[in-house]
Amino acid sequence: MQPSGSLHLGNYLGALRQWVDAQNADAFYCVVDLHALTLQISPETLRSNTMDLLATYLASGLDPEVCTIFIQSQVPYHAQLNWLLECVTTYGELSRMTAFKEKSQRQEGFRVGLLTYPVLQAADILLYNTEEVPVGEDQRQHLELARTIAERFNNRFGETFQVPLGTQPKVAARVMDLQEPTRKMSKSVSSPLGNLHMFDSPEDIKKKIAKAVTDTDGEMRFDWEKKPGLSNLLEIYSSLCGETPEQVAGRYTRYGELKTDLAELVVATFAPMKQRYEELLRDPADLYKIAAKGADKASDVAGVVYRRAATAMGLS
């Protein structure tokens, strides 16, 4: 994930929670600080966001004794492989990416990194012989591009990369804005009330859920097409409690009661993580040590894959 500000419920349910569930000795999780350079972000903010995100990973349950957790820029192979892959990717492929089309329209004089970052993403993935990439639904197109690049490279230069598969959670793969439930919850675009952060205060969580837009017919039913606001709340609830959205809907008759219970569930889920997050940030030296150890472990694997790719292309 990019260190571009505190994580919202979509980041947690769509991605981070799957990572915690799937962690093992072969799993690599990274804070992609190079990607954050595509934003207008000050050096101080980038540095502190990077540590915040590392602390968030750990507080959510990622364990550096079990998996590898690191900061992207501390493993230079990402930027190096990025260049090799840029040379097998076409301008047409990148300019067709939906995220590029949307973001470039919002930014005047956007920079080249906004066009090419999906190639860096492909490098992030391919460096680790990655079989599965657990991401939210919004990343599907970028993941498809990573597969295309890997297949093209293998065809042209010989078997070099594992071709990765994207995996998405069954529910909450696309958490929607609480105020505009036809738009995804997003760090950059959502309104302050539409975006629920993992470490919002309990008061803010309750307020945002209480004010979440639903509909006026009052019928408790899971139906994305006709009832996007309510269905979003039901999916969030379902994702946190393990029942299906239909089962959750079956337990309630009033929207207000559903919202009250959901707010309590969200507060209870994140309270222990928030406490751990605050403790971790009190000792940055420990975070730096974890990052350095993770970068060493990641470099061992990434170095082998990078050299394989560079040699295949004819670099000496």
List residues binding ligand AMP (CB under 6 A). Answer: 1-2, 10-11, 14-15, 135-136, 138-139, 173-175, 184-185, 187
Q: Which residue number, 178 or 230, has a Cβ lying nearer to ligand AMP?
A: 178
As measured in angstroms, the least distance from the Cβ of 293 to ligand AMP is 24
Q: Which residue number, 198 or 298, has a Cβ lying nearer to ligand AMP?
A: 198
As measured in angstroms, the least distance from the Cβ of 155 to ligand AMP is 28
**DSSP class per residue in the chain:** ---SS--BHHHIIIIIHHHHHH--TT-EEEE-HHHHTTS---HHHHHHHHHHHHHHHHHHT--TTTSEEEEGGGSTHHHHHHHHHHTTS-HHHHHT-HHHHHHHHHSTT--HHHHHHHHHHHHHHHTTT-SEEE--GGGHHHHHHHHHHHHHHHHHH-S-SPPPEEE--SS-SSPBPSSSTTSB--TTTS-TTT--BTT--HHHHHHHHHT----SS------TTT-HHHHHHHHHHHHHHSS-HHHHHHT-S-HHHHHHHHHHHHHHHHHHHHHHHHHHHT-HHHHHHHHHHHHHHHHHHHHHHHHHHHHHHT--
Instruction: Spot the catalytic one: 170, 187, 274, 293.
Output: 187
Cβ–Cβ < 8 Å for 232, 172: no
As measured in angstroms, the least distance from the Cβ of 295 to ligand AMP is 20
As measured in angstroms, the least distance from the Cβ of 265 to ligand AMP is 18
The pair of three-digit structure tokens given for residue 151, joined into one six-digit string: 């297949």
As measured in angstroms, the least distance from the Cβ of 185 to ligand AMP is 4
Cβ–Cβ < 8 Å for 106, 117: no
Q: Which residue number, 186 or 299, has a Cβ lying nearer to ligand AMP?
A: 186
Q: Which residue number, 125 or 220, has a Cβ lying nearer to ligand AMP?
A: 125
Q: Which residue number, 138 or 261, has a Cβ lying nearer to ligand AMP?
A: 138
Q: Which residue number, 14 or 64, has a Cβ lying nearer to ligand AMP?
A: 14
103 is catalytic: yes
Residue in the shown chain whose Cβ atom is closest to ligand AMP = 14
Instruction: Spot the catalytic one: 103, 207, 293, 297.
Output: 103
Using only C-alpha atoms, the chain has a radius of gyration, in whole angstroms, of 20
Query: Where does residue 221 rank: exposed (0-12), middle (13-18), buried (19+ CB within 10 A)?
Result: middle
Instruction: Spot the catalytic one: 170, 184, 207, 208.
Output: 184
Q: Which residue number, 84 or 164, has a Cβ lying nearer to ligand AMP?
A: 164
Show Cβ contacts of residue 146 under 8 Å, excluding neighbours closer than 6 positions.
Answer: 118, 121, 122, 125, 126, 133, 164
As measured in angstroms, the least distance from the Cβ of 285 to ligand AMP is 26
As measured in angstroms, the least distance from the Cβ of 194 to ligand AMP is 10
Known catalytic residues are: 103, 184, 187
